[in-house]
Structure 1
Amino acid sequence: MNARCAFAFLWLAYFCHCTLSCPALCKCYSRRAEVVCNEVPLTEYPSEGLPKNTTMLTIQFTNITSISEQHLSATPLLKELHLYGNHLQHLSSNLLRGVPHLNTLDLTGNKLTDLPADVFSHAPLHSLVLKNNLIEKAESEWLPDNSNLTWLDMSGNHLRKIPKDLLQKLPHIENLDLSNNRLEAISADSLDMLTKLERLNLQNNKLEILDASLLQNTRNLTYLFLSQNKLNKIPENLFQELTQLKILSLDENQLSHIPPGLLDQLNSLDEEGLDLSSNPWLCDGKVEYLWRWIQKNKKKLFLPEIIRCVGPQSLSGRSVMSLTESELNLQS
């Protein structure tokens, strides 16, 4: 056998090993270098048999409780790792050191609590999902300075605050989801570095007030979700820079009034893009601005007829849009 034939034989053997090997209980798709282990009785990470050329790996709804740097080093070309709905409780600080091409990491629905420093610092992640875990405290040390993240989802955890130092490491972030936590406040300048932010989800937290300057540098914001909080006041200039905003949800808060001019800059709102329902609107003289805005912008409101007064008693239950000038003691 000459040298050229020998080389071809060795290359073919390596290729066949990479494409034909597959862990037990998993499915391998050689053409797209993908491995899927879905709803199978795995108790350990399936390192053995993983093709080295794997670029996408999904392990979901299994009984795996741990994952290590050694496990991931079996697939050095990995770009996407989806670990949805397992029983992971801990991650090592060097977890991603063996996957230098990893750009997507989804850890949704595990049992993660405390995460070590530098845990996400060894791979060029663009998307990180930590949704529906048991995390009580977010740490800036998780990420490198000037992180590449464009998508961060920490919804459905037990966070009471989000560190300003962590957010300032996200200059490229476009989607930030902190919904379904226990956030009580967000510091005034915590979003200043997020100039590329397009989507911010803060719904279902415990926010009572937002600083007037919070959104002054997020001029690219197009979706803002603030529903199901405890907001009782909105600063007059909060939305002043959001000229690109298409969707704004403020439903299920404690708003009785909004300040004059609050909505004037929101010319880009989609049809039915603003939700103000399920707030205790007080239909006294201070409701004039909201009433006049609704008359001119009905199409931009989601179900405007259910934006209702809770007081005074004579107007209780009435929709704000149905009120007349005489009922509000207004002059034409």
Structure 2
Amino acid sequence: MKSGCVLAVVFLAVFCHGSLSCPAVCKCYSRRMEVVCNDVPLIEYPSEGLPENTTMLTIQFTNITSISEQHLSATPLLQELHLNENHLENLSSHLLRGVPHLHTLDLTGNKLSNLPADVFSHAVIRSLVLKNNLINQADAEWLPDNSSLTWLDLSGNHLSKIPTTLLQRLPNLENVDLSNNRLEKLSSNSLDPLTKLGRLNLQNNKLNTLDASVFQRMHNLTSLFLSQNKLNKLPSNIFQELTQLTHLSLDDNQLSHIPTGLFDPLNSLEDDGLDLTGNPLLCDGKVEYLWRWLQKNKKKVFLAETITCALPELLAGRSVMSLTENEFKLS
């Protein structure tokens, strides 16, 4: 019994580097080297009392407004830091210099707007989540060249563009979420560095057209979300290189025509993998390609029967699949 108690105390001492304390409003889990401060009355980062051997720290639903390099230096072995749903307005430059082992940083649901240069340098971050903040400009200087990032979430911000210089620093990205922003345009070669990308979410932006070459280097892409934009036309060869694509959402755009050959390269689409609902399709002679493609690939299309004609008035509301060849050729 006594030896067991001694071992337990030694284990805790190793975790806490000589201190069995834990911030009063937090919970410390020695077996997982984890500290959780959840929905507590904090107004400052709780540096004092944090066990030095902490590898995972969660501080959420508090009133903390800033965090600095000095704060994080209290836990030099930190690997995961989750700071979602606080009131963070400021991050210091060189924020991660004291936590070189950090690989996951989640800052969801704060009030961050302008971030300083080098803010995410000095650590081998693989997952960076900045979702639902107030960021209106992304800066290449946030991250080092040849960054280790594989997951980047900038959704729910105020971005109107993504600089190519930032993406050039992220050759290892596998997942990018830029949904729910204000993106109006993607320059033709801006995504070229992202050759490892498997998932790209551009949903709910203000894109009205896309360059034919924008996805030309994305041979590993499996999921592409373009729904809820303002796309009114697409180049016929825009998906030519996306032979691994299993899911494509084009719903709730302004597409009136689907150009001949658009979906032909997409042989890897899974069942219900294509969503085309909510577009104002014009069912004239140009709808023939879509009509024939739907007949052959019905299982690959989500709610295929609900893809309907908006015009001409005579065919408005009709399912494209239900049309006869005479009907759309006479329109």
TM-score tier after normalising by the smaller chain length = over 0.9
**Contact 2:15 2:33 (C-alpha < 8 Å) held by counterparts:** no
Residues 17 and 236 of structure 1, relative CA distance in 2, 3 Å threshold: closer
Instruction: Tell me which residue corresponds to 2:271.
Output: 271
User: Superposed, which structure 2 residues align to 1:1-332 within 5 Å?
Assistant: 14-15=13-14, 17-18=16-17, 20-329=20-329
Separation in structure 2 between the aligned mates of residue 230 and residue 126 of structure 1, nearest angstrom = 32
SS of residue paired to 1:218: coil
For residue 270 of structure 1, report the CA deviation from its aligned partner: 0.9
For residue 306 of structure 1, report the CA deviation from its aligned partner: 1.2
Matched letter for residue 274 of structure 1? L
Separation in structure 1 between the aligned mates of residue 259 and residue 114 of structure 2, nearest angstrom = 41
Residues 31 and 256 of structure 1, relative CA distance in 2, 3 Å threshold: same
For residue 48 of structure 1, report the CA deviation from its aligned partner: 1.1
Give per-residue Cα distances to partners, 1:279-311, cap 9 Å, x unaligned.
000000000000000000110000011111011
Residues 185 and 16 of structure 1, relative CA distance in 2, 3 Å threshold: closer
Give per-residue Cα distances to partners, 1:182-209, cap 9 Å, x unaligned.
0000110011111100000000000011
Separation in structure 1 between the aligned mates of residue 15 and residue 53 of structure 2, nearest angstrom = 11
SS of residue paired to 2:37: strand
Separation in structure 2 between the aligned mates of residue 311 and residue 267 of structure 1, nearest angstrom = 29
For residue 49 of structure 1, report the CA deviation from its aligned partner: 1.0
Identity rate of aligned residues, in percent? 74
Residues 136 and 23 of structure 1, relative CA distance in 2, 3 Å threshold: same
Separation in structure 2 between the aligned mates of residue 186 and residue 328 of structure 1, nearest angstrom = 34
SS of residue paired to 1:20: coil
Give per-residue Cα distances to partners, 1:62-85, cap 9 Å, x unaligned.
011111111100000000000000
For residue 13 of structure 1, report the CA deviation from its aligned partner: 8.6
SS of residue paired to 2:328: coil
**Contact 1:20 1:30 (C-alpha < 8 Å) held by counterparts:** no
143-152 or 14-23: bigger deviation: 14-23
Displacement over 4 Å in runs of 4+: 10-14
For residue 329 of structure 1, report the CA deviation from its aligned partner: 2.7
Separation in structure 2 between the aligned mates of residue 121 and residue 12 of structure 1, nearest angstrom = 33
Residues 39 and 11 of structure 1, relative CA distance in 2, 3 Å threshold: closer
Residues 54 and 13 of structure 1, relative CA distance in 2, 3 Å threshold: closer
Separation in structure 2 between the aligned mates of residue 288 and residue 247 of structure 1, nearest angstrom = 23
For residue 21 of structure 1, report the CA deviation from its aligned partner: 2.2
**Contact 2:36 2:59 (C-alpha < 8 Å) held by counterparts:** yes
Separation in structure 1 between the aligned mates of residue 290 and residue 10 of structure 2, nearest angstrom = 72
Give per-residue Cα distances to partners, 1:254-276, cap 9 Å, x unaligned.
00001111100101111001000
Instruction: Tell me which residue corresponds to 2:3.
Output: none
Residues 63 and 250 of structure 1, relative CA distance in 2, 3 Å threshold: same
Instruction: Tell me which residue corresponds to 1:4.
Output: none
Separation in structure 2 between the aligned mates of residue 16 and residue 109 of structure 1, nearest angstrom = 30
Separation in structure 2 between the aligned mates of residue 182 and residue 13 of structure 1, nearest angstrom = 49
Separation in structure 2 between the aligned mates of residue 33 and residue 61 of structure 1, nearest angstrom = 21
Give per-residue Cα distances to partners, 1:141-191, cap 9 Å, x unaligned.
111111100000000000000001001111000000000000000110011
For residue 323 of structure 1, report the CA deviation from its aligned partner: 0.5
Separation in structure 2 between the aligned mates of residue 160 and residue 243 of structure 1, nearest angstrom = 29
Matched letter for residue 23 of structure 2? P
Residues 279 and 58 of structure 1, relative CA distance in 2, 3 Å threshold: same
For residue 328 of structure 1, report the CA deviation from its aligned partner: 1.9
Separation in structure 1 between the aligned mates of residue 180 and residue 253 of structure 2, nearest angstrom = 14
For residue 104 of structure 1, report the CA deviation from its aligned partner: 0.4
Residues 314 and 77 of structure 1, relative CA distance in 2, 3 Å threshold: same
Separation in structure 2 between the aligned mates of residue 12 and residue 299 of structure 1, nearest angstrom = 57
**Contact 2:13 2:20 (C-alpha < 8 Å) held by counterparts:** no
Residues 143 and 13 of structure 1, relative CA distance in 2, 3 Å threshold: closer
Residues 170 and 44 of structure 1, relative CA distance in 2, 3 Å threshold: same
Separation in structure 2 between the aligned mates of residue 246 and residue 154 of structure 1, nearest angstrom = 23
TM-score, normalization by structure 1 = 0.95
Residues 266 and 12 of structure 1, relative CA distance in 2, 3 Å threshold: closer
For residue 14 of structure 1, report the CA deviation from its aligned partner: 4.4
Separation in structure 1 between the aligned mates of residue 251 and residue 14 of structure 2, nearest angstrom = 57
SS of residue paired to 2:290: helix
For residue 107 of structure 1, report the CA deviation from its aligned partner: 0.3
